[in-house]
Amino acid sequence: MARTRRVLPGFQLSLSITLLWVSLIVLVPMTALFLRPWELGAAGVWASITEPRVLAALKLSFGAAAVAAVVNVPLGLLTAWVFVRLRFPGRDLADSLIDMPLALPTAVAGIALTGLFAPKGWLGALLAPLGIKVAYTPLGILVALVFVGFPFVVRTLQPVIHDLPLDAEEAAATLGATRWQTLRRVVLPALLPALLAGFGAALARGVGEYGSVIFIAGNMPMISEIAPLLIVVRLEQLDYAGAAAIGLVMLLASFGILLLLNLLQRRIGRFA
């Protein structure tokens, strides 16, 4: 019998290269991040991460990222559905613009959003008479995180919608189901794992976002200061262990949230 020729090298070599690469780019930096805060001792680490300023920054970062991800899920679902199921002039151009937040340097995105939503900006001037202030407030952070997280939801959902068979929708329509009933009972259950994946991706991006946020946030301690900025402040103060302590909290919290979403996604997929 002819021996099957494999494109990749043998199992042991492939596994060794994979583990080495993962260790260099993931495990080693994470280990360093985990060990550095303990230079302060357990009491010092606890004191560093429980400061009111740190707690406020963590609450704002995770809270704003979660709200932005929730906003992006229905918007991303609608956008992905339109691009997959409909044909219209300029569709390819509009589809390519979805990736613009990924291609732009984050600082450029932050400057552009600040210019738009500043009190004298194009949109800020329209919102000011209504008493709505976006730039230099937590609302500005939310706007920035919605902007940068939107492509993750759309690109996660597009291939799933493309592969979604039309048979179930046509059968539901034949049986007299309304469009809302078809969406709620047929389409959304099939898309739920992908929706959770898109939510998790947008949330992860939002928690660690820095460049597009600092320009529009105002960076006022206890009000509009995000955790990544506070890490930079600690580094500028040469408090490397304190900065690592905040980073460790963000790492553990993000890992826990993503693990929970992953387990929920698998459970839903198993019963789908």
Could you state, in order of their start, the residue ranges of all structural domains in the chain?
39-271
Structure tokens, 188: 């959304």
Structure tokens, 218: 């105002």
pLDDT tens-digit profile of 97-115?
898 888 888 889 899 999 9
Average pLDDT for the chain: 88
pLDDT tens-digit profile of 4-39?
556 556 667 777 888 888 878 888 888 888 888 988
Eight-state DSSP code of residue 36 = G
Residue 1 in this model has a pLDDT that exceeds 50: no
The CATH number that domain 39-271 falls under is 1.10.3720.10
Query: What is the C-alpha separation between 121 and 110, in angstroms, rounded?
Result: 14
Inter-CA distances, 53 with 3, 19, 269, Å: 64, 39, 40
Q: Which amino acid is at 242?
A: G
Predicted confidence at residue 51, as pLDDT, reads 94
Q: Where are the beta strands (DSSP E) in 23-113?
A: none
Query: What is the C-alpha separation between 137 and 114, in angstroms, rounded?
Result: 11
When pLDDT is averaged across residues 243-251 and rounded to a whole number, the result is 93
What percent of the chain has a predicted confidence (pLDDT) above 90? 51
Compute how many other C-beta atoms are within 10 angstroms of the C-beta atom of residue 73: 17
Predicted confidence at residue 19, as pLDDT, reads 82
Reported pTM: 0.87
Are the C-beta atoms of residues 247 and 229 closer than 8 Å to each other? no
214 burial via Cβ count (<10 Å: 0-12, 13-18, 19+): buried
Top-confidence residue, 40 or 172:
40
Top-confidence residue, 176 or 81:
81
Query: Angle CA(78)–CA(111)–CA(238) in degrees, nearest 5?
Result: 115
Are the C-beta atoms of residues 211 and 109 closer than 8 Å to each other? yes
Structure tokens, 128: 């000011």
Eight-state DSSP code of residue 83 = H
pLDDT tens-digit profile of 44-73?
999 999 999 999 999 999 999 999 999 999
Residue 249 in this model has a pLDDT that exceeds 80: yes
Eight-state DSSP code of residue 219 = -
Inter-CA distances, 222 with 44, 66, 164, 225, 253, Å: 21, 19, 46, 6, 20
When pLDDT is averaged across residues 118-141 and rounded to a whole number, the result is 92
Predicted confidence at residue 2, as pLDDT, reads 52
Predicted confidence at residue 52, as pLDDT, reads 95
Query: What is the C-alpha separation between 3 and 26, in angstroms, rounded?
Result: 36
Predicted confidence at residue 5, as pLDDT, reads 59
Do you know the residue count of the chain? 272
Eight-state DSSP code of residue 257 = H
Predicted confidence at residue 9, as pLDDT, reads 60
Structure tokens, 235: 């580094």
